[in-house]
């Protein structure tokens, strides 16, 4: 009798373990095709800071982004290393990243380095980890003590010259004048609009010829 009960108990334990493994595999299925070093671009909203960033930086009709992070895939799972207004430079579990960046209808598009540039990925992920804990750069003017999202990614790959800094512009292409949002944004900070100063943005990074667009993350 004891032997029968023991066998039933063991069967129940094994069944529970298999069920747990199955549920975990289903939970990660949407991320299974991601690779270490993939770049996640978050589509821009039309208003506020997001809309203002996109207004002066959009380079492609089908690409309109205002945030970016890099995937770190390790034995513990999938994570995103990124710099965000809430939390600064951080490592975030990927499900949390997706949830926090898609709740207002945005999408996440996966980009990947072309094969000839992928040797830069291990050091880029390592560099990104070394930058964790720094505050967010709310001025969007390059600073060694704080980072904004595309700045964080450019620095991670800087050693291998994957991306490059370009003169920033805050000109509204429709009017030819400084975008009203940015004019007021820097006035409130008592700062001059950094027109022409070096910088980067998610749309500029997405337009790099060193990247290929993979898919929309569902």
Cβ(30)–Cβ(218) below 8 Å: yes
> Which residues, 6 or more positions from 181, have their beta carbon under 8 angstroms from its beta carbon?
49, 51, 52, 55
**Residue 203's pLDDT is what?**
93
pLDDT in tens, 166-180: 999 999 988 999 999
State whether the Cα torsion 30-206-137-129 is positive or negative: positive
Kindly write down the DSSP assignment for every residue of 135-174, as one continuous string.
Answer: PB-TT-S-BTTBB-HHHHHHHHTGGGT-S--EE---B-TT
**Residue 14's pLDDT is what?**
52
State whether the Cα torsion 199-208-65-31 is positive or negative: negative
pLDDT in tens, 23-36: 444 455 678 899 99
- With 50 as the cut, is the pLDDT of residue 81 above it? yes
For helices 48-57 and 180-188, the axis angle rounded to 10 degrees is: 120
List 178's β-bridge partners, or say none: 171
E-strand spans in 24-160? Answer: 39-43, 65-74, 77-84, 88-93, 108-113
pTM of whole model > 0.85?
no
Among 9-18, 152-161, 207-216, which stretch is predicted with the lowest mean pLDDT? 9-18
């Amino acid at each position: 009798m004891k032997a029968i009960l023991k066998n039933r108990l063991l069967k129940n334990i094994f069944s529970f373990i298999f069920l747990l493994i199955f549920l975990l595999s289903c939970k990660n299925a949407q991320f299974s095709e991601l690779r270490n070093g993939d770049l996640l671009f978050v589509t821009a909203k039309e208003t506020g800071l997001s809309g203002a960033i996109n207004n002066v930086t959009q380079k492609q009709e089908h690409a309109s982004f205002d945030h970016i992070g890099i995937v770190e895939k390790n034995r513990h799972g999938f994570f995103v290393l990124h710099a965000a207004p809430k939390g600064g430079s951080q490592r975030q579990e990927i499900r949390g990243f997706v949830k926090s960046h898609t709740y207002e209808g945005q999408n996440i598009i996966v980009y990947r380095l072309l094969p000839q540039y992928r040797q830069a990925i291990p050091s880029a992920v390592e560099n990104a980890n070394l930058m964790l804990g720094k505050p967010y750069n709310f001025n969007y003017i390059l600073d060694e003590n704080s980072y904004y999202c595309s700045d964080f990614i450019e620095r991670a790959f800087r050693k291998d010259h994957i991306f490059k800094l370009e003169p920033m512009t805050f000109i509204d292409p429709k009017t030819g004048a400084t975008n009203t949002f940015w004019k007021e944004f820097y006035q409130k900070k008592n700062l001059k609009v950094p027109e022409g100063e070096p910088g980067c943005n998610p749309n500029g990074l997405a337009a790099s010829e060193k990247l290929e667009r993979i898919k929309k993350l569902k």
